[in-house]
């Protein structure tokens, strides 16, 4: 076992419980100390007898191929040892103990955490036993084990897919693919190929067809009956199973030579699903459930397709619409923190690049008091120029403030604030003094957080605390 973070320690516990002889190592002293404290054998893997090793279980954050393989990967290859991850252990246990246990796997460049959480929420709302985890929340091997009526809803990064050779979910969800993690995959083509691997052995595939990469992947799904394509209405080249008109979500059903469309729900006034990107997330979630219902109808998903009254247990449109309305959203992703008078405060700390910030800025028509900055990424914010007219004022923080100020010069009035606390105070005061009906203070940094915070979660929590402090001030 190499890599002793949360998922690594969980995997070690699972392997030991299954009778394996586990040797752990990590390049960091803290990881090794954690493993020792948990009672595991810790030894430098350069010194183990590799011909006796059956498997190298690698943490997903460890380079497998690019920019160059980690030294443990080289040792494994030299000795013909397989390299797997924690999701592969789950996949093998599921195959051995309960191969038809429902398993939905979700991937994509953007939106996979929200989609994973929304699928889990909808299924829970419908009364199902749901276990959610993977790249979100809990490590997969800390969840309850596969069972005929338990649905595992698992977010998977490209790193995790790369380490799961026997991956065979009931339903695979591929949202979108845009350039990301190229340093770890070498090229967009390789990154996209890893993402597409999720679809290869799935019983059903819910695939977004709004970008060229995923549209091409959808075209390669065979037989076509496995495909549940969805589009947010951006010019798809083929008839989707689910689609949107503005904020309204529809399903396209085919029965013999007769086809019909039915409205499922509208996302208007659902604040936790603001923005065009959340239209795609909602469609992806519904496509996964439509596929799961068909699998249940075919007795392949180990789920009861109908209840005692004969009503569908998954594709129940009225209850799905109710579930969409009650979705609480995820922290740090267009999270509504609160209101102070007319001013709405939105925590979108998860937006660590311009592409993510674009989705937040697009979610509001104007009067945006934008808090941006941190540790800059390549490309900066020049790509957001079309949205600059929506910004009333920018409040810049961290290392990126000079770079962002230069980009905004002459187009958006920007104030260098340095810290988040200063930015929140100034943005709140300016928004309250504005004449807008609903001014918004939006933290959507378009930057990494590491110059001033441990991670984006800490940055978002700090924003929330600052806003709560404003809400508690006398007279607010």
User: What residues are annotated to the active site?
Assistant: 112, 135, 181
**Joined tokens for residue 319:** 């209850």
- Are residues 351 and 357 in contact, defined by beta-carbon separation less than 8 angstroms? yes
Give residue 473's Cα distance to chain centre. 35
DSSP-derived letter for residue 146 is P
Look at residues 82, 69, 86, 101 and name the one whose alpha carbon lies nearest to residue 11: 86
Alpha-carbon radius of gyration of the chain: 24
Percent helix, percent strand, percent coil in the chain, to nearest 5: 40, 20, 40
142 exposure class (CB count in 10 Å sphere: 0-12, 13-18, 19+)? middle
Q: Which residues contact 212 (CB under 8 A, 6 or more apart)?
A: none
- Are residues 397 and 452 in contact, defined by beta-carbon separation less than 8 angstroms? yes
Strand order in the sheet with 103-107: 129-134, 150-155, 103-107, 171-174, 204-208, 227-231, 242-245, 248-255, 258-266
Q: Which residues contact 414 (CB under 8 A, 6 or more apart)?
A: 393, 394, 395, 396, 404, 405, 408
**Distance, CA of 357 to CA of 376 (rounded, Å):** 13
**Distance, CA of 459 to CA of 457 (rounded, Å):** 5
**Residue owning tokens 């105070």:** 425
- Are residues 429 and 336 in contact, defined by beta-carbon separation less than 8 angstroms? no
Which H or E run includes 195? Answer: helix 188-200
DSSP code per residue over 10-71: HHHHHHHHTT---EEB-SSHHHHHHHHHTT-EE--TTSS-GGG--EEEB-TTS-SSSSS--H
DSSP-derived letter for residue 271 is G
Provide φ and ψ at 414, rounded to 5°: -125, 140
Which H or E run includes 171? Answer: strand 171-174
């Amino acid at each position: 076992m190499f890599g002793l973070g949360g998922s690594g320690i969980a995997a070690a516990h699972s392997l030991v419980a299954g009778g394996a002889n586990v040797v752990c190592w990590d390049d960091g002293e803290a990881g090794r100390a954690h493993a020792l404290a948990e009672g595991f054998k810790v030894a430098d893997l350069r010194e183990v007898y590799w011909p006796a090793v059956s498997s190298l279980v690698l943490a997903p954050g460890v380079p497998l191929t690019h920019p160059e393989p980690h030294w443990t990967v080289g040792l494994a290859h030299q000795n013909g040892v397989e390299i797997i991850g924690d999701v592969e252990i789950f996949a093998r246990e599921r195959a051995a103990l309960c191969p038809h246990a429902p398993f939905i796997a979700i991937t994509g460049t953007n939106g996979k955490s929200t989609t994973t959480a929304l699928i889990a929420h909808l299924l829970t709302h419908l009364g199902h036993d749901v276990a959610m985890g993977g790249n979100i929340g809990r490590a997969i091997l800390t969840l309850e084990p596969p069972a005929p009526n338990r649905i595992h809803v698992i977010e998977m990064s490209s790193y995790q897919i790369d380490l799961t050779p026997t991956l065979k979910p009931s339903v695979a969800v591929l949202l979108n693919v845009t350039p990301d993690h190229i340093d770890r995959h070498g090229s967009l083509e390789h990154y996209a190929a890893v993402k597409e691997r999720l679809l290869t052995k799935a019983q059903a595939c819910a695939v977004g067809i709004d970008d060229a990469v995923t549209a091409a992947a959808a075209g390669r799904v065979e037989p076509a009956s496995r495909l549940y394509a969805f589009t947010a209405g951006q010019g798809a080249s083929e008839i989707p199973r689910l689609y949107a008109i503005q904020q309204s979500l529809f399903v396209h059903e085919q029965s013999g030579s007769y086809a019909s469309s039915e409205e499922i729900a509208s996302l208007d006034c659902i604040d936790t699903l603001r923005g065009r990107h959340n239209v795609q997330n909602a469609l992806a979630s519904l496509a996964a459930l439509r596929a799961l219902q068909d699998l249940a109808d075919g007795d392949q998903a180990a789920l009861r397709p109908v209840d005692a009254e004969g009503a569908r247990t998954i594709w129940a449109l009225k209850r799905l619409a109710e579930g969409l309305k009650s979705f609480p959203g995820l922290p740090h992703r267009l999270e509504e923190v609160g209101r102070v008078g007319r001013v709405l405060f939105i925590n979108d700390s998860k937006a660590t690049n311009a592409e993510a910030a674009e989705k937040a800025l697009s979610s509001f028509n104007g009067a945006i008091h934008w808090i941006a900055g941190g540790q800059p990424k390549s490309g900066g914010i020049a790509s957001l120029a079309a949205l600059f007219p929506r910004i009333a004022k920018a409040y810049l923080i961290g290392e990126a403030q000079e770079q962002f100020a230069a980009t905004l010069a002459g187009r958006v009035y920007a104030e260098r604030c340095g810290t988040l606390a200063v930015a929140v105070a100034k943005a709140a005061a300016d928004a309250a003094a504005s004449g807008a009906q609903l001014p918004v203070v939006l933290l959507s940094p378009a930057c990494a957080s590491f110059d001033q915070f441990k991670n984006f979660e800490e940055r978002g929590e700090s924003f929330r605390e600052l806003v709560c402090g404003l809400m508690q001030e006398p007279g607010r």
